[in-house]
Amino acid sequence: MSTRAEQRERTRTTLLRESRRLFAGQGYAAVGLAEIVAAAGVTKGALYHHFAGKAELFRAVLDQVQQEVAERVVAAADAEKEPWDQLVAGCQAFLTASTDPLLQRIMLVDGPAVLGWTQWRQLDTDNSARHLREALTGLVELGVITRQPVEPLTHLLSGAMNEAALWLAAAGGPRDLADTQAALARLLDSLRA
């Protein structure tokens, strides 16, 4: 990589890091471009070289956050040996990750508001739903889950978990995560053949 390309990548990485910190701490609406470029130590021109504006920068931050949540889900699932346990661990890891205050504001509060529901859901599908679909497909093929179309089941479970995560972000108290995880475990158990 050339020195110029390395510098561009460092600038982009710094913009993402500082924007993420500011968005998580203050929320999208409260953060201005001047604050972002000051925190990153770059000019507005450098920001506009990488992103068309604040909304595009936020979308890149949200995509990064959703990828990290997906990685946590996959890591939790991969730690289990049995396919059923992998599904349960991955789903529980999603709920746990979604209660992280540094992720909540970006992923669950500002994400749908800034990007709109359709774009927010597409990012979620790109980063998480495909893992859920793969797990469910494998469990149906193994006969662990009753044979059924996987696509609607994926959307139903993804929707239920996203709604639970949104609820936890808005009103979650100290017991709410444990209660939500217990309810999710019962819901998943009902799918077993």
Angle value at C-alpha 170, between 168 and 174, nearest 5 degrees: 50
Residue 93 in tokens: 């890891």
Which residues, in sequence order, are bridge partners of residue 145? 192
Q: What is the pLDDT of residue 68?
A: 92
| 15/79 Cα distance (integer angstroms) | 33
Residue 127 C-alpha from the chain's centroid: 7
Mean pLDDT of the chain: 93
Q: Class of 54-189 per CATH?
A: mainly alpha
Residue span(s) of the chain under CATH 1.10.10.60 come to 1-51
At how many degrees (to 10) do helices 176-189 and 150-171 cross? 170
Which pTM was predicted?
A: 0.88
Q: Position 26: which residue type?
A: Q
Residue span(s) of the chain under CATH 1.10.357.10 come to 54-189
Q: What is the pLDDT of residue 1?
A: 53
DSSP code, position 192 = B
At how many degrees (to 10) do helices 54-78 and 130-142 cross? 30
| 53/70 Cα distance (integer angstroms) | 26
| pLDDT higher than threshold 90 for residue 156 | yes
CB–CB of 154/129 below 8 Å? yes
| 90/138 Cα distance (integer angstroms) | 14
CB–CB of 87/79 below 8 Å? no
Residue range 133-150, pLDDT digits in tens? 999 999 999 999 999 999
Pick the CATH number of 1-51 from 1.10.10.60, 1.10.287.1260, 2.40.110.10, 3.30.200.20: 1.10.10.60
When mean pLDDT is compared across 34-48, 116-130, 146-160, the lowest value belongs to: 116-130
Give the CA count within 13 Å in the CB-facing half-sphere of 19: 30
